Amino acid sequence: MRRDGEGVSRLWGRGSLVTTKLSAKETAGTLGISHFEAIEGERAPRHLHNLEDEIFIVEGGQVRLTVGEETETLSGSGLVFLPRGVPHSYVVESPKARFYVITTPGGFERFFSEAGYPTDLGNAAPVGDRWSVDRTQEFAHNLGLDLIWGV
Instruction: Check residue 92 and give its pLDDT.
Output: 97
Average pLDDT, rounded, for the chain: 88
Could you give all domains of the chain from N- to C-terminal order, each with its CATH number? 8-149 (2.60.120.10)
Considering only CA atoms, which of 85, 88, 84, 100 is closest in space to residue 52? 84
Q: Which tops the pLDDT comparison, 129 or 40?
A: 40
Q: Is the pLDDT of residue 66 over 90?
A: yes
Instruction: Check residue 63 and give its pLDDT.
Output: 97
19-33 residue pLDDT tens: 999 999 999 999 999
Considering only CA atoms, which of 92, 54, 99, 105 is closest in space to residue 78? 99
Predicted structure pTM score? 0.88
**23 HSE (CA, 13 A, CB side):** 13
Q: Is the pLDDT of residue 60 over 80?
A: yes
91-112 residue pLDDT tens: 999 999 999 999 999 999 999 8
